A and B are shown apart, each in its own frame.
Chain A
Amino acid sequence: AQSVSQHNHHVILSEAASLELGCNYSYGGTVNLFWYVQYPGQHLQLLLKYFSGDPLVKGIKGFEAEFIKSKFSFNLRKPSVQWSDTAEYFCAVNNLGSQGNLIFGKGTKLSVKP
């Protein structure tokens, strides 16, 4: 069965530190990849997505992610985090062989200390 693994449950950083959150998926076919963010008390929002083309995708708020097909990975990065980035981050995958079923990882909670 298709699955998504996020390596870190909780990451704590100081402001201006660099961020990398890991995400690996198990499906071997063609996939679309997503990162979602959930700020405290708010609903899930799409941060960025990869469908095809350039494997380095840029999203909102200075986030970017790199799709490495050979590693089945789609890691999220940000060069310098801010306190306002404190949130929970979810990686998600949908395989194009399905009708559009979207599978999520368990999430990574990011806490940024001011």
Chain B
Amino acid sequence: DVKVTQSSRYLVKRTGEKVFLECVQDMDHENMFWYRQDPGLGLRLIYFSYDVKMKEKGDIPEGYSVSREKKERFSLILESASTNQTSMYLCASSRQRQGGAFFGQGTRLTVV
């Protein structure tokens, strides 16, 4: 069974903290994505990566960075967490140029 695993289901962090969200996929997919999901706004792309050490900004990259040192792992970093980054964060992976992404369970991050 294919799997995209996010390291935490729930996180509570303080304003100003540096936050790391980890995602691992076991399908040898080239593409990996980080989205945030907010009610009424759907899924908004933060960053995606199409190869190791390669990344592209999505629609809302401000306040975030990413790291992809290995093909199977894609990390999202909140450099200095703020309350407006309270959200559900979804990681996904797919074969290059095919979409059909597989999603993880999501991490619900609360910044207080």
Contact = CB atoms under 8 A, between A and B. Distances in A.
B43 interface: yes
Interface residues of B, number: 29
Contacts of B40: 9, 106
Contact of B50 (A43, A92, A99, A104): A99
Contact of A105 (B30, B35, B42, B98): B42
Nearest to B58: A101
A19 interface: no
Nearest to A108: B42
A43 B103 contact: yes
Contacts of A44: 43, 90, 92, 103
Contact of A102 (B41, B56, B101, B105): B101
Interface string B17-58: 000000000000011010100001111110010100000101
A46 interface: yes
Interface residues of A, number: 24
Interface of A: 6, 9, 32, 34, 36, 43-46, 49, 51, 90, 92, 94, 96, 99-107
14 contacts: A32-B100, A34-B99, A43-B105, A90-B42, A94-B99, A99-B31, A99-B48, A100-B98, A100-B99, A101-B45, A101-B48, A101-B58, A102-B45, A106-B42
7 interchain residue pairs of minimum CB distance: A106-B42, A99-B50, A94-B99, A104-B43, A44-B103, A100-B31, A107-B42
Interface of B: 30-31, 33, 35, 40-45, 48, 50, 56, 58, 90, 92, 94-106
